[in-house]
C-alpha cells in the first residue's frame, strides 16, 4: 500500500530505488517477439544459434516494456504524483538477455528542473539501469517525467 502522496519537492537528486522483474522465460521472449519484433534471433532457436549471439535473446523492445512495468511499480509504490512521461534519452542495450535471466532496475533521480512557466509541476530526470543476476548491465537510459508540485494552501 503506497504511503502519503509524494510531490516534486519530496524527491532529491541522488535518491534511488530498486526492484526486480520476474524472470525471463523462453516462452515470454518468443511470444513478445512474435507480436512486436519477429527477428529470427528472438523467435527461432536454430537461427538464433547461428547468429552473432549464439542463442535466443530477448528483443530490445521487450527489455523496454519490462523496464516500463518495473518503473511504473516503483513510482506507484512511492505514490509519486507523476503527470506524464516527458521522454527518453540515450537508451543503450549493453548485454543480451536470455531465458532464465532475472533483471533488477535501479532508478536514480539525476536532476530536478523547476519550470518557471509552470508553477504547478516540475521535471524529473532519472538514470535507469537494468542489471542481470550476474551484475552485468543490460540496459541504460535517461527518463524524464513531469511531477506535480505540492499544492499551496489557500
- 32: CATH: 3.10.129.10
100 phi and psi, to 5 degrees? 95, -20
**Rg over CA atoms, the chain:** 18
- The boundaries of the domain holding residue 12 are 8-148
Task: Give the integer Cα–Cα distance in Å for 127 and 110.
Answer: 6
Is residue 154 one of the residues assigned to a domain? no
Residues 101-117: tens digit of each pLDDT: 999 999 999 999 999 89
**Averaged pLDDT score across all residues of the chain:** 96
Residues 26-81: tens digit of each pLDDT: 999 999 999 999 999 999 999 999 999 999 999 999 999 999 999 999 999 999 99
Is residue 118 one of the residues assigned to a domain? yes
Instruction: Count structural domains, the chain.
Output: 1
What is the model's pLDDT at position 3?
Answer: 77
Contacts of 47 (CB under 8 A, 6+ apart): 40, 41
pLDDT level of residue 150 (50, 70, 90 thresholds): very high
Is residue 91 one of the residues assigned to a domain? yes
Task: Give the integer Cα–Cα distance in Å for 147 and 82.
Answer: 4
- The residues that bridge with 147 in the sheet, in sequence order, are 82, 122
Contacts of 92 (CB under 8 A, 6+ apart): 139, 140, 141
* Cell (9 digits) for 145: 517525467
What is the model's pLDDT at position 76?
Answer: 93
Is residue 73 one of the residues assigned to a domain? yes
Is residue 19 one of the residues assigned to a domain? yes
Is residue 2 one of the residues assigned to a domain? no
Q: What is the DSSP letter of 102?
A: -
Q: 153 near 107, Cβ under 8 Å?
A: no
Is residue 48 one of the residues assigned to a domain? yes
What is the model's pLDDT at position 154?
Answer: 65
Task: Give the integer Cα–Cα distance in Å for 74 and 55.
Answer: 31
* Cell (9 digits) for 48: 538464433
Q: 4 near 80, Cβ under 8 Å?
A: no
Q: pTM for the full model?
A: 0.93
CA distances from 83 to 14, 104, 122 (A): 21, 25, 10
Is residue 1 one of the residues assigned to a domain? no
Amino acid at each position: 500500500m503506497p504511503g502519503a502522496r509524494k510531490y516534486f519537492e519530496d524527491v532529491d537528486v541522488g535518491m534511488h530505488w530498486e526492484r526486480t522483474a520476474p524472470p525471463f522465460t523462453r516462452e515470454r521472449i518468443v511470444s513478445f517477439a512474435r507480436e512486436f519484433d519477429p527477428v529470427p534471433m528472438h523467435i527461432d532457436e536454430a537461427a538464433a544459434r547461428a547468429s552473432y549471439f549464439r542463442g535466443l535473446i530477448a528483443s530490445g523492445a521487450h527489455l523496454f516494456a519490462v523496464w516500463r512495468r518495473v518503473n511504473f511499480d516503483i513510482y506507484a509504490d512511492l505514490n509519486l504524483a507523476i503527470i506524464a512521461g516527458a521522454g527518453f534519452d540515450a537508451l543503450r542495450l549493453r548485454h543480451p538477455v536470455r531465458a532464465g535471466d532475472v533483471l533488477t532496475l535501479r532508478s536514480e533521480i539525476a536532476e530536478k528542473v523547476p519550470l518557471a512557466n509552470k508553477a504547478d509541476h516540475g521535471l524529473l530526470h532519472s538514470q535507469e539501469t537494468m542489471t542481470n543476476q550476474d551484475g552485468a548491465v543490460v540496459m541504460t537510459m535517461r527518463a524524464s517525467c513531469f511531477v506535480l508540485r505540492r499544492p499551496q494552501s489557500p
